[in-house]
Amino acid sequence: MKHVIFKYAWKNVSRRLRITGSLLICVFLSVFSIVLAWGTYDAIDSGIELSKSQLSADVMVYPYEVDISDVSMLYSGIAQSVYMDESVLDQLNNNYVEQISSQFYLQTLPTAGCCTATKEMRLVGVDWENDMLLHSYLTDANIDQLEAQEVIVGGNVEIEGKNTLILNMPVKIKGVLRTTGTYLDDSIIMSMDQLRKLSKINFPTNFFDGNNPDTSITCAFVKLKDGISTEKYMESIKDIKAKKVLISSTTQTLQQQVTILFKILLGACMLIFILGILSIFGQVNLLVNSQFKEAGYLKAIGVKRKEIYEIFICQVTMVGISAGIVASVLGIISARSVVDWIHQYMLLPTSIWSVEYVLVHFCGGAVLTLLISGITVIFLLRKVAKISPQETMANGDV
């Protein structure tokens, strides 16, 4: 009997394409809008949370001459070539500090051979043995040493093969960083001493604005001892002539921007969702009315009320589940496109796309589909329960 009910329901769906098609679109838009908003926010927020968990430093220090924002300095791979003397490290180091790491930035020159890239990329020179940021990010085995002609690339840097050119110097790619949600994702990392040598070969003296490349750094990252207040440390270094930035406040600023963006996106999607739900009720009403004669006839010839219910439920379930599955898949795919589009206008940490992300949001879409289908079925059954064979016959419909 079940297969007969399914077959009958399928025929009703296929014979009423205008109504069932409209119902399918309404369910699709309702599920799609929520999955899209949720997926977009979750992807962006996961990148921010990742960067917060990965950055072990508390304070970032760099020259006042940097012409990009604190957020851009921390989260983008925009090339920056500004310098300060490394003597600032001694000024930053006091009883509150657990560890300090310094970095020397340079930029690739597309005309000087780099990885077939056509845009400038940030080169980051590090003291590998004493660096506190990079070791835990490696996807490969631990690297104890970074030789002069070896580099490590961020997860977003696309280089084919294991060898390339950096400022006309042949280098070997020794490792790849896993996604960090920070500027490192779009950077190329190499030995600070070697990068300083390359800077003197490839750039004129005035490029460094009077600084000696051999004793210059671009930024420093400070990790404080446990229990030390960042405000107390910032007060202790207030006289140092460099820009001091609390990494936590930079992340908080970014989160506030994302929250505003999400509220706008969620508002638009909720409007679509509400309109979709209201339209679903309208389409279900049309669906029942279009089968009023059939349902009355089935009751008149002795078909059980339960079986008539099952026919209608089967129809709604077919349409709802089909629309929900497609909406969930397209919502996840579209979320990535939306995030990529937002990246063009707003600086954000690298978003995380994983099997877990897909499964969570697909299952979320499935649950939402079941919820919508459940509400629709309740509304449907109330309508079907009012169908009377006597009324149908009295009206001359049977």
Give the mean pLDDT per block of 10 residues along the chain (398 residues): 60 68 85 91 82 79 82 73 89 90 81 56 83 68 75 81 83 82 82 90 82 89 90 91 87 83 87 86 72 57 63 76 91 89 74 82 91 80 61 46
Q: Which two tokens stand for residue 1?
A: 């009997």
**pLDDT for res 332:** 92
Whole-number Å distance between alpha carbons of 210 and 84: 10
Residue at which a domain ends, from 215, 241, 267: 241
Q: Are residues 204 and 275 in the same domain?
A: no
Residue at which a domain ends, from 241, 276, 291: 241
Q: Are residues 110 and 228 in the same domain?
A: yes
In a domain, 43, yes or no: yes
Distances (CA, A) of 377 to 3, 16, 94, 309, 384: 20, 18, 68, 9, 10
What DSSP string describes 133-183? Answer: SSGGGBSSS--S---TTEEEE-TT----SSEEEETTEEEEEEEEBPP-SSG
In a domain, 190, yes or no: yes
Q: Are residues 359 and 227 in the same domain?
A: no
How many domains are there within the chain? Answer: 2
Q: Are residues 169 and 297 in the same domain?
A: no
Q: Are residues 210 and 345 in the same domain?
A: no
**Helix and strand element counts for the chain (H, E):** 11, 11
Q: Are residues 159 and 29 in the same domain?
A: no
In a domain, 39, yes or no: yes
**pLDDT for res 393:** 44
Q: Are residues 79 and 227 in the same domain?
A: yes
Q: Determine whether 363 is exposed, middle or buried from the number of CB atoms within 10 Å of its CB (0-12, 13-18, 19+).
A: exposed
What DSSP string describes 169-209? Answer: EEEEEEEEBPP-SSGGGGEEEEEHHHHHHHHHHHS-GGGGT
Range of the domain at 265: 2-51+254-394
Q: Are residues 21 and 84 in the same domain?
A: no
| Cβ neighbours around 83 below 10 Å, total | 25
pTM of the full structure:
0.71
Q: Are 328 and 365 in contact (CB under 8 A)?
A: yes
Q: Are residues 179 and 81 in the same domain?
A: yes
**pLDDT for res 1:** 52
Strand pairing category for 59-62 and 163-166: unpaired
In a domain, 248, yes or no: no
Q: Are residues 23 and 108 in the same domain?
A: no
Distances (CA, A) of 137 to 102, 181, 189: 17, 11, 12
Q: Are residues 384 and 266 in the same domain?
A: yes
Residue 290 backbone dihedrals phi, psi, to 5 degrees: -70, -20
Q: Are residues 95 and 224 in the same domain?
A: yes
